[in-house]
Chains A and B, each alone.
Chain A
């Protein structure tokens, strides 16, 4: 990192990160860092640049400029070292619906080179952990949204990652499931010392779980620190209030439509 030596305590280091699409800067000169073992919340309104940043951190997109270090490795130069070090639950579902729960995990384990005996053991442990062991031989397409989410969490942990990225993990889940999920995640963070990096629109989740928060808006970091620090800085009672005072009250448009259209067309095509 430019003029800075590798800081062992920091598992994610981002410096002056920029990503432009055409002339538009989706991520515009973003810098932040995440400490080892921390629960880090990355907040921002729709279209603020959260997902684009996560894609760059996880090797799916190449930055236009700036530097990233994930556990000491640059995602551009050492893709596979970076890829092996994290697990991820994407914002949109990413399971193969035509495979069973067990097969989805098996697929993941083989891709991440988890040895067969360890794989078998961990798949059972994790499926029991997310309470899907009884459903292991059922096709994922028969699962509810919450079950799919739990399965994705189990899958993301199968190769024992050092960092766990969760992009809106609780979106569309009922309060019970959300609560349950956060219990898992916090528990995981404490017992396994896994660093958690998550985004959410439920600001109270960040307030409860996160040790550190960064708020991004229109491609720029507009505030970062512990929830307490942010509240003090903005003179707010809750993190939600400070979030609104940092990002304003304007309503943002989300990109949608394309996937829904696809789903419809796919159904037509496959019948």
Chain B
């Protein structure tokens, strides 16, 4: 347990010390909120869909959680290249504990990032339907964060270096985000897009957030919770397995 704690603490310390990284990673969500939120607002309104900023904010929170958590998982590649992973791997600690500590650390960082984006959205004019719903909303953020940190860990465990990073970015992370319903409503989509969005696990994270913060869930909160939980368990298992196979 102590090992899990110290691994978690390391991630938190590294996060809090990298101010440029925190600020840098907030640029994108702010841009999306402002440009899309206010840019598409009038069209969205005229189409009878209501307030777009309100619709978009849960999607942008989910986006920053997705990006931060996948990167936190992928950071294992840096640790491998810069030698620190060896230090952890020769310690008398099980691979599972290392994986859990790292994943919790990454997920905490991603959750913090999600909270910061939420606070920024308040400045932009977003208001949650009821403040009490922030508690279940936080639960959805945490679950999404764990899910995608585990995904990042799984990817990092099979990659030797960052050569494949661009590939992952363009063919996994970006599609996960753009096809999740973060930016557009899921009803009335063409059939193929409907199927793709239903397969994308981030759709359920976005939907859970939208359901709790705005009160407009597409799939329903219980389905969101169920899908996210199952996917998280699955990816944790896959991530742990692949991580345990790492040889240096």
Binding site for B on A (CB under 8 A): 55, 58-62, 79-81, 83-84, 86, 88, 90, 92-99, 103, 106-108, 110-113, 139, 155, 258-259, 261-262, 265-266, 269-271
Q: Are B82 and A93 in contact (CB under 8 A)?
A: yes
> At the interface, is chain B mostly helix, strand, loop or mixed?
helix
Q: Are B86 and A107 in contact (CB under 8 A)?
A: no
Name B83's contact: one of A58, A93, A261 (CB within 8 Å): A93
Cβ of B45 within 8 Å of any chain A Cβ, yes or no, is no
Residues on A with beta carbons closer than 8 Å to the beta carbon of B92? 79-81, 83-84, 111-113
A80 to B89, CA, bound (A): 10
Q: Are B6 and A96 in contact (CB under 8 A)?
A: no
Q: Are B6 and A62 in contact (CB under 8 A)?
A: no
Q: Are B90 and A58 in contact (CB under 8 A)?
A: yes
Residues on B with beta carbons closer than 8 Å to the beta carbon of A155? 87
CB-nearest residue of chain A relative to B79? A96
Shortest Cβ distance from A57 into chain B, in angstroms?
10
Q: Are A111 and B3 in contact (CB under 8 A)?
A: yes
Name A98's contact: one of B14, B81, B87 (CB within 8 Å): B14
Q: Are A60 and B89 in contact (CB under 8 A)?
A: yes
Shortest Cβ distance from B189 into chain A, in angstroms?
34
Cβ of B2 within 8 Å of any chain A Cβ, yes or no, is yes
Q: What is the 8 Å Cβ interface bit string for chain B, positions 1-35, against chain A (1 contact, 0 not)?
A: 01101100010011001101100000000000000
Q: Are A90 and B91 in contact (CB under 8 A)?
A: no
Name B162's contact: one of A98, A139, A265 (CB within 8 Å): A265
Q: Are A60 and B86 in contact (CB under 8 A)?
A: yes
CB-nearest residue of chain B relative to A81? B92
Cβ of B51 within 8 Å of any chain A Cβ, yes or no, is no
Residues on B with beta carbons closer than 8 Å to the beta carbon of A55? 248
Q: What is the 8 Å Cβ interface bit string for chain B, positions 219-248, against chain A (1 contact, 0 not)?
A: 000000000000000000000000000011
Q: Are B161 and A258 in contact (CB under 8 A)?
A: yes
Q: Are A262 and B162 in contact (CB under 8 A)?
A: yes
